[in-house]
Amino acid sequence: MSNAMIFPPSLPRLTHVRLALAVAFVLVLTLLIDRARAALGPGILVTTLAGLSLVVAWARRRASSAGRARATTAGADGAAGQPEPPPDQQWLQAILNLMPMPLLLIEQGTARVVFANRAADQLAGGVFPRDVPADAYHTVYVCTDARGQRIPDAEMPGVRAARGERLNGFQMTWHTPGGARELIVFSEPLPALHGHQPLAIVVFQDVTALKRVELASTRLGKLIDESANEIYIFDAATLHFVQVNAGARYNLGYSMEELHRLTPLDLKPAFTRESFESLIAPLRTGDAEHIVFETVHRRKDGSEYPVEVRLQLSRAEERPVFVAMILDTTERRAAEAALRRSEERYRTLFETMSQGVVYHDATGAITGANPAALRILGLTLEQLQGRTSMDPRWQAINPDGSPFPGAEHPAMVALRTGREVRDVVMGIAIPGEAEHRWISINATPQFRPGETTPYQVYAIFEDITARYRSEAALRESEQR
């Protein structure tokens, strides 16, 4: 396309030169940003072409108004005349300020920035530093490489561009007063044109936001991979695994490459395709946000282990995926089995021991008792539950025959003081018996972790009636 096709022939030759120079700049920019497109995606080229169309449209408007502007200027009074047209440099700067990407014009040889467009000023958080020679870059630019090391003056992109180097995706971090900016840099040398000095054009792509997202994604990926839980992501349509974290791979004995060829059905022998689809159907229909179930997993070597599965469907991806958080319950089940065995042993001891055992809650009410306690007290469990030491039906007495106040019963003292009470002798009335039955009681308070007030007390007692009566008879005999 010739200049006449863009610019009307009525324009002076100098204007043609200016516009041709502007279009040359834009074409160089197109080259640079097309290289950026290859690294960062096709959206960059769309932005460039939009900028180019703005420049051409602006040039057409400039051309169509030039004749009117000259006529107006010629007819005006000298004292009140219009200002002189802007210099070539200002005119070209206005065009470059239309570009959406940060752009610099750098003097070849000295590496001084002679122009920074509006986007570059915004990148700098104010005004982009200008007119700084190569050996003084360190005084205004603090840039680091991927290792976090400061880039020396000679290796700064502006200095390299001023030497004639073509930069194609140089990455660095620029530490500005407004914060660190992650940049990808492209450059192209510009020869001397129409009396203008040779320059280098430098374009920046600010990828700070992208880097932050990548960093967050990397951190999240690392947390997931290092999670103590097994985490599985599988395709919602094919059920093939997309990603499995390191803990799961280690426990299963499969590599990620092998797992890509497998589905949850290969790990869960208890399920068929039909039963598994029936299980996950509420997730597909949206009737449930997640489901939790227990099953077993089969390792590569054929061994199996119990698991608890928490499964949900994520539609955030381009292709929906299921995300499964899986807990290996081997240790938990072993602990539960051990606890059951321990409880069975203590239950057997509780039910067969000759001493009576009674549990009181924090109010003093009886909540449980073993068979020996029911036998010694002459009551059924239903008759005993709910009673307290304050109940007058006990008719408790001291060895000297005086009343034994309910508040001084060992269980009540242990609840009140939080201390163990031992070897207290007490006589109690037994339904159907004329004389008191004598018992020796120990009471022990129990506390929940972090609490200082007992939540219950258990009392262990034995029937010492025969021994007590023998000792009483012996004392009476000796007195006679």
> For residue range 56-77, what is the model confidence (pLDDT) as tens digits?
444 444 444 444 444 444 444 4
CA 405 to chain centre: 61
Q: Residue 53 pLDDT > 60, yes or no?
A: no
The residue ranking higher by pLDDT, 431 or 46, is: 431
The residue ranking higher by pLDDT, 44 or 393, is: 393
Q: In this structure, are residues 258 and 266 in contact, taking their beta carbons and an 8 Å threshold?
A: no
- Mean pLDDT confidence for 83-104: 70
For residue 9, what pLDDT is reported? 41
The residue ranking higher by pLDDT, 151 or 390, is: 151
Q: How confident is the model at residue 434 (pLDDT cuts 50, 70, 90)?
A: confident
CA–CA–CA angle 269, 275, 277 (5° rounding): 115
Q: How confident is the model at residue 90 (pLDDT cuts 50, 70, 90)?
A: low
What is the spatial distance between Cα 57 and Cα 6, in angstroms, rounded to a whole number?
A: 9
Q: What order do you get walking across the sheet with 421-428 strand by strand?
A: 366-369, 356-361, 456-463, 437-446, 421-428
The residue ranking higher by pLDDT, 257 or 61, is: 257
- Mean pLDDT confidence for 309-329: 89
For residue 8, what pLDDT is reported? 36
Q: How confident is the model at residue 419 (pLDDT cuts 50, 70, 90)?
A: very high
Q: In this structure, are residues 131 and 111 in contact, taking their beta carbons and an 8 Å threshold?
A: no
Which of 15, 17, 45 shows the shortest CA–CA distance to 29?
Answer: 45
Q: In the numeric block, which tokens belong to residue 94?
A: 């206005």
Instruction: Enter the pTM of the model.
Output: 0.43
Q: In this structure, are residues 395 and 387 in contact, taking their beta carbons and an 8 Å threshold?
A: no
Q: Residue 40 pLDDT > 70, yes or no?
A: no
Q: Residue 18 pLDDT > 60, yes or no?
A: no
Judged on CB neighbours under 10 Å (0-12, 13-18, 19+), 27 is exposed
The residue ranking higher by pLDDT, 365 or 13, is: 365
Q: Residue 80 pLDDT > 60, yes or no?
A: no
- Mean pLDDT confidence for 83-101: 67
* Range in 77-86, 204-213, 236-245, 443-452 with the lowest mean pLDDT: 77-86
Instruction: For 268-410, list the strands marked E by DSSP.
Output: 290-298, 304-314, 321-328, 356-361, 366-369
For residue 216, what pLDDT is reported? 65
For residue 15, what pLDDT is reported? 46
Q: Residue 130 pLDDT > 70, yes or no?
A: yes
- At 180, give phi and psi (nearest 5°): -75, 135
Judged on CB neighbours under 10 Å (0-12, 13-18, 19+), 95 is buried
Q: Residue 222 pLDDT > 60, yes or no?
A: yes
- Mean pLDDT confidence for 326-349: 87
Q: How confident is the model at residue 238 (pLDDT cuts 50, 70, 90)?
A: very high
Q: Residue 418 pLDDT > 90, yes or no?
A: yes
The residue ranking higher by pLDDT, 386 or 55, is: 386
Averaged pLDDT score across all residues of the chain: 81
- Mean pLDDT confidence for 403-421: 94
For residue 190, what pLDDT is reported? 84
* Range in 94-98, 153-157, 241-245, 381-385 with the lowest mean pLDDT: 94-98
Listed ranges 93-97, 98-102, 368-372; the one with the highest mean pLDDT = 368-372
- Mean pLDDT confidence for 139-153: 92
Q: How confident is the model at residue 343 (pLDDT cuts 50, 70, 90)?
A: confident
